[in-house]
Chain A
Amino acid sequence: MIRIEDLHVRFDSDKGTVHAVKGVNLDVAAGEFYTLLGPSGCGKTTTLRCLAGLERPTGGRITSGNTVVHDSDRGVSVPTYKRDIGMVFQSYAIWPHLTVFENVAFPLREVRPKIAEEEISNRVSKALELVQLGGYESRPAPFLSGGQQQRLALARAIVREASVVLFDEPLSNLDAKLRAETRLELRNLVKRLGMTALYVTHDQTEALTMADRVAIMREGQIVQEASPTEIYNRPNSRFVASFIGQCNFADGKVRDKMNGSGVGQLETEWGALQFSGDSDADVGTSVIAAVRPENVRLVATGADGTAEGEVVETVFLGECIECRVRVGDADLVARVHPRDAVDVGQRTGVEIRPEDVALLSS
């Protein structure tokens, strides 16, 4: 549905030329919810704006549906208003001089040949019902709360029933509670309407909970693209592992390659560690072992083959307790249920399952 090939964007700024997007490739299937995730300044918004036609790429090709909307080599560039898209802006961009109804009706009024007033009215009402803003039609748009404005922006983006809908950090201006509620609502709505969504965010929770597929961007490039579970469990770099969720890292060396049962041996700062999975690292290779805090189990000391350490710090987080354990020369953060509370200074065994160890190249 959406295909971006070798996209490059360069800006001229006061500090010289900035290479904001460096060869991005992506392919979004029809009906897919695709998320671009990355820290600010990584080029994710620029990529989205290129797709919308609001930014002009310096190189590359963009296809939306069956139309090539941009091709730098052939000098093709379809202007924004002729592209079949809907878009939700970070600032919502609700027009303050129009009512709620007129804001949503705007895209329909721009359709040629003109749509009958009655149909416009029906479709606007339907869109407003979908975002639960029915009954607000005649209200001036500035008199809505932040959450309502967000939903109004959404209604405006979907009312034209474009095949592609673009989201530019649409939830970042909402408070935490509202954001959590809106996440699922938004995903369900997009799925129900069968739209293809490209969603830009810097919030990992949004990316994990909403997306079918996530692409992590860094310095203008996509560093990993996979499903949310895959990204979380099998990050391919230290950057991805630490950007999504919390992670423990330890330098180590491969001691034994994977044997028949799919388990290999590592020598790390935390001591000996078993790993499994699809790593084909040779014996003696330097690697980084990555372990999520919730995968570290604190067990009684003295069990066979488990590392031992001393609890140096505990932090109460409500639903769990974070324990910092000194194992060998390095620290390891474990997340345990409050019931399994441990005290600072206590000695404890540390157990990590082989499948929870991800190997990253160092």
Chain B
Amino acid sequence: MANTMTNAPGEAAGTEAKARKNIVARMFPWLVLLMLAALVVAPIFSLVAGSFSLSRLPNEFALDNLGFDNFYAVWIEQRIDRVIWNTTIYVIGATVFGVTTAGVLAWLVERSDMPGKTWIYAGVPLGIAVPGILHAIAWVLLLSPRSGFVNRAWMDVTGSNAPLFDIYTMGGLIFAEGLRLVPVAFLMLVPLMRSMDPAMEEAAAASGASPSRVVRRITLALLMPGVLAISIFQAITAMENFEVPGVLGMPVNLHVFSTRVYNLIDNIGSIPAFGQANAAAIFYLVIALIISFFYLRLVRSSERYSTITGKGFTPRKVPLGRWRKPALALALLFLFMTIVLPFLVLLYVSLLNYLRPPSLEAFKSFTLQNYENVFAQPRVARTLFNTIYVTLLTATTVTVVSFLISYIIVRTRFAGRYVLDMLSFLPHAIPGIVLGLALFWLFMQIDEWTGLRTFGSIYALVLGFTILFLSYAVRAMSVAMIQVHPDLEDAAKLSGAAPWRIALRVFGPLLMPTLVGIWIYVAMLSVRFISLPLILSQGGNNEVLGVMIWSLWDNGNISSVGAIGIMLMSFMFALALGLRAFGFGSQRGSAL
């Protein structure tokens, strides 16, 4: 009795500390939820508010100057219906072309006896490393109607007046963007094909179905829900893309949503119409949200069809017979067109003193002058520094934040985890240009109220990128975490490890490939993404490489574009090889 009396005060202090710890632990998920909600909702709110603003400039926003005029103007005067139509054709065309190409490549690599498969398997995802803007510029240099190298050669050889193919058309847009979709679609399709129980097909063969009937009635039918989900995912990507339509469509007034929104605030010879841009962006956002909603529903319902049994399969390889070599040639042609060709074209122009078609004299005149010029400019050094700074900061922030969010979603019974899940997916539906515009409004307002200089700062870019790339990272992270069986943690718990020790010694090492993979992938995205920084860049303070390439291209400084592009691509290839080294490709594929 005496003993318990003397111990009482100490115990009370202990429970008090414990209670305080409990409150922190319980508050933490709410804090994360709140932070995420602020990140997602605040920009959208300012976007919506701005769309009703009739003031000329965002910082003149006033509650007594609101109305629906912007929506009217966008619909009637700007003919947004035409943009919707263009966007539809462009998105469907690019998606069908891209996913079909990826499907053929994935099938050849996974299910056929094509020679050299490992090289194709390693090569296709490398396409991620070619930034969209450089990809589009390379195709312009090859296929622009008058001066494109290929068209020029065609006209010289045949004496024809008409170009072989004009890249500044809807067809060109679909072609260039379709090729860009292939690497990620390929990474998503490969695990889909790999996870299919080959016994499904064998059972059909044993039931008397001929090989072609097996493909039609079983293989395709089983893959269909997954392929549909991947197609919608790719359609969202195509719709969000700004770089390719920006380079190929905008110069000839062939507008899709992303370029139209940008065009409304940045058009030489006309006053920026910020309110109208917001109104157009809202149409854009609503369509993107609707498609994303269908995507989510499809993914949920297609889980019913899941044929994954967790077994290691060694599916039979379909013998191609005499088609083996043509198949390999086709795959190599793809690699050449998406990776080698853009690099060679840019390398070529970067070594010329003025732009001219390839010839022996042109090769003789090669010079490193452009590289020297580029490095002589202080602007380049500053831009390079900005790019690296933004990339490192974004990749680290996204990795840490997505880890926290995924942990709460996957491993806790936090009441708001479904909301958290939804909120973290939402940014995926926000096109980069729209988020750029939304943040532009938000930062203008913040600066107006507080007198800070958030707009035009480098952190504005980091924040924007973080919101944009969070959904990729959270999905990849969640999938990886689900694969770590809870028993592994429970075993550590029973061995007496404290929660942070479990995170450090069990969870961390098991997830390390994913963490590194996400870090590198986000780094690559931040380097190649242009739409958002294009709107948020203000002078040299936060100019990044992508924006500089864009403005150099706009000014017709092709040699510098070539020189900087080659440096950028080399850097991206290094990152891509790092990504491969961690075997992240297939994991992420299944995550998206």
Binding site for B on A (CB under 8 A): 52-54, 79-83, 85-87, 89-93, 95-97, 106-107, 110-111, 142, 153, 156-157, 160, 166
B152 CB → nearest A CB, Å: 50
Known: A81-B209, A110-B209, A160-B207. Contact between A93 and B309, CB under 8 A? no
- The one of A81, A83, A86, A97 that contacts B222, using a Cβ cutoff of 8 Å: A97
Please judge, given known A-B contacts A54-B316, A81-B209, whether A106 and B204 are in contact too, CB under 8 Å: yes
Known interface pairs A89-B202, A110-B213. Does A95 touch B222 (Cβ–Cβ under 8 Å)? yes
Instruction: Indicate if the CB atoms of A107 and B208 lie closer than 8 Å.
Output: yes
**B197: nearest chain-A partner, CB-CB:** A91
Alpha-carbon distance between A157 and B316 when the two chains are bound, in angstroms: 21
Query: Hey, which chain A residues are within 8 Å of B211, CB to CB?
Result: 79, 81
Q: Is the CB of B208 within 8 A of A52?
A: no
Considering the complex, give the chain B residue whose CB is closest to the CB of A166: B206
**Count of chain B residues with a beta carbon within 8 Å of a chain A beta carbon:** 27
Find chain B residues with CB under 8 A from A160 CB. 207-208
Q: Are B205 and A81 in contact (CB under 8 A)?
A: yes
Minimum C-beta distance from B544 to chain A (A)? 44
Whether A91 pairs with B202 at a CB distance below 8 angstroms is no
Whether A106 lies near B207 (C-beta < 8 A) is: yes
A54 to B221, CA, bound (A): 21
A97–B309 alpha-carbon span in the complex (Å)? 16
Residue of A nearest to B205 (CB): A80
Complex formed: what's the CA distance from A247 to B209 in Å?
A: 47
* Interchain CB contact (< 8 A) of B203 among A83, A87, A97: A87
List 8 A–B pairs whose Cβ atoms lie within 8 Å, in order of A's numbering.
A80-B205, A81-B213, A83-B206, A89-B203, A93-B199, A93-B203, A96-B306, A97-B224
B253 within 8 A of A: no
Contacts of A96 in B (CB 8 A): 222, 304-307
Contact with A along B296-313 (1 / 0, CB 8 A): 000000001111010100
Q: List CB contacts (< 8 Å) of B106-157 with chain A.
A: none
**Which residues of the other chain, A, contact B197 by a CB distance below 8 angstroms?**
91, 93
Option from A79, A95, A157 in Cβ contact (under 8 Å) with B218: A95
Q: Which residues of A contact B306 (CB under 8 A)?
A: 96
Contacts of A156 in B (CB 8 A): 203, 207
Q: Complex Cα distance A160/B209, Å?
A: 12
Q: Which chain B residues in 150-197 approach chain A with CB under 8 Å?
A: 197
- Chain B: residues with CB nearer than 8 A to chain A? 197, 199-200, 202-211, 213-214, 217-218, 221-222, 224, 304-307, 309, 311, 316
Contact check, B208 vs A81: say whether CB atoms are below 8 A apart. yes
Known: A110-B209, A110-B213. 17 other contacts (CB 8 A): A79-B205, A79-B210, A79-B211, A80-B205, A81-B205, A81-B209, A81-B210, A81-B214, A82-B208, A83-B206, A86-B207, A90-B199, A93-B202, A95-B218, A106-B204, A156-B203, A157-B206
With A and B bound together, what is the CA distance between A82 and B222 in angstroms?
23
Q: How far is the CB of B312 from chain A (nearest CB, A)?
A: 12
Contact B202 A54 (CB under 8 A): yes
Closest chain A residue to B218, Cβ basis: A95
Q: A89–B211 Cα gap in the complex (Å)?
A: 19
A195–chain B nearest beta-carbon distance, Å: 14
| Interface pair B209/A106, CB less than 8 Å apart | yes
- Which residues of chain B have C-beta atoms less than 8 A from A80's C-beta? 202, 205-206
* Docked-complex contact B206 and A85, CB < 8 angstroms: yes
Partner of B205, one of A54, A95, A97, A142: A54
CA distance A111 to B199 in the complex (A): 20
B221 touches A97 (CB 8 A): yes
Could you say which residues of chain A place their CB within 8 Å of the CB of B218? Answer: 95
Residues of A within 8 A of B202 (CB): 52, 54, 80, 87, 89, 93
CA distance A329 to B311 in the complex (A): 47
Q: Separation in Å of the A95 CB from the closest CB of chain B?
A: 6
Residue of B whose beta carbon sits closest to that of A84? B208
Task: Kindly identify which residue among A92, A107, A142 contacts B207, using a CB–CB cutoff of 8 Å.
Answer: A107
**How distant is the Cα of A265 from the Cα of B211 in the complex, in angstroms?**
63
Partner of A110, one of B208, B224, B307: B208
* Pairwise interchain contact A95-B316, C-beta atoms closer than 8 A: no
Cross-chain contact of A142 among B200, B210, B304 (Cβ < 8 A):
B304
